[in-house]
Amino acid sequence: MIILGPRRCGKTTLLHMIVERMGYPHTWFNGDDPADARLLEESSVSRLRTIIGKSRLMIIDEAQNIANIGKIVKLITDHLKQVSPVISGSSAFELANEFNEPLTGRKYEYMLFPFSFAEMVNDQGLKNEIQQIENRLIFGSYPEIVNHPGDEKELLMELSTSYLYKDIFKYGGIKKPNELEKIVQNLAWQLGSEVVISELARSSGVSAITVERYLDLLEKTFVIFRLPALARNLRNEIKKSKKVYFFDNGVRNAIIGNFNLPGNRNDIGPLWENYLVSERMKFNHYRRFYGSSYFWRTNQQQEIDYIEESDGKFSPFEFKWNLGKHPRFPATFLRNYPVSETVVVTPSNIEQFLT
């Protein structure tokens, strides 16, 4: 079993809970500990048998730091049938390279995100979580942020500097960290807008190839994710653009150094959109949604914030922090796509979208 997710989202805590609840004898390795990493890297089957002993569970936390971890786990699954490896990692980039071939058909992968709206509602109740929406827009939902009110700014600044890029620098071969930081800052300022690679490259002072590479690394280390444009039927639809969102609002705000509350901001619309799209991603992942997600826009500036496609039907959503006049969905889209429902998501009906 492989548990992936951003650093500091609670993977180690979850591993401790798995060990406690299962109650099996276990052996624990931490990939961030050089001694543990060396012990596993140099192991043969006989040595692994000695190391693991009578344990039924083998926990390997931050496994991306252990060389040849895929081959090591394959040795265990092939020769130590009584042992179940449970692995965590914060770099899909590194772990995908290690595990895809050696463990094809023999692994289960799970994603762990920062706390979701649905999880917080389940724990604190709907009323309490709705009252926290403004805080979530500004400070996000990382466990230590939620659990340490009053320390959000300090914790987020530490997270966004010390930990955010750790795996990228280690595994991505980054030789110029300032280039990466410029790209991330520009992405943060463009929140909610389509990202044009050539423009991002120009504003960051790097090549388009470098931008593409960094975006890929940022996705695989769970800093950002991309949402593609929907284009099927109409000649004037924007086809190749993508929007970039941050996994967590707090991280985005730390990158630009702005923790003002919603009433004192001019980017509340993009913050609301980023929050809803990232929370919907968590919700869909946990409920095993197998459809596809998009945004939609035409050259005539008709647009829809977010669309889901499932079983040949489309569900378009508009996101409004302040509703004002009720928005109308573009007739062009409604005529050309089979639509199952249209929904405007506001703070007053957020639970219908995220639970």
Rounded to the nearest 10 degrees, how much is the dihedral formed by the CA atoms of 78, 81, 84, 88? -10
CA distance 38 to 334: 59
Answer yes or no: is 157 within a domain. Answer: no
Give yes or no: residues 129 and 72 share one domain. Answer: no
pLDDT for the residue numbered 143: 97
Q: Into how many domains does the chain fold?
A: 2
What CATH number does residue 11 fall under? 3.40.50.300
How crowded is residue 17: how many other Cβ atoms within 10 Å of its Cβ? 11
CA distance 14 to 27: 16
Give yes or no: residues 96 and 66 share one domain. Answer: yes
CA distance 97 to 212: 19
pLDDT for the residue numbered 258: 97
pTM: 0.91
Give yes or no: residues 126 and 97 share one domain. Answer: no
Residue 202: domain span: 117-139+178-354
Give yes or no: residues 52 and 189 share one domain. Answer: no
Answer yes or no: is 332 within a domain. Answer: yes
- Name residues whose C-beta falls within 8 Å of residue 207's C-beta, 6 or more positions apart in sequence: 201
Residuewise pLDDT in 10s, the chain (355 residues): 999 998 899 999 999 999 999 999 999 999 989 999 999 988 899 999 999 999 999 999 999 888 888 889 889 989 999 999 999 988 765 676 677 666 667 788 899 999 999 999 999 999 999 999 999 999 999 999 999 999 999 999 998 876 677 777 776 667 778 888 899 999 999 998 899 999 999 999 999 999 998 899 899 888 999 999 999 877 888 888 899 999 999 999 999 999 999 999 999 999 999 999 999 999 999 999 999 999 999 988 899 999 999 999 999 999 999 977 788 999 999 999 999 999 999 999 999 999 9
Give yes or no: residues 42 and 72 share one domain. Answer: yes
pLDDT for the residue numbered 96: 66
Give yes or no: residues 197 and 306 share one domain. Answer: yes
Give yes or no: residues 129 and 256 share one domain. Answer: yes
- List pLDDT tens digits, range 251-260: 999 999 999 9
Give yes or no: residues 202 and 336 share one domain. Answer: yes
Of 95, 111, 127, the one marking the end of a domain is 111
Answer yes or no: is 83 within a domain. Answer: yes
Answer yes or no: is 295 within a domain. Answer: yes
Give yes or no: residues 17 and 102 share one domain. Answer: yes
Answer yes or no: is 97 within a domain. Answer: yes
What mean pLDDT value characterizes the chain? Answer: 91
Q: Are 102 and 74 in contact (CB under 8 A)?
A: yes
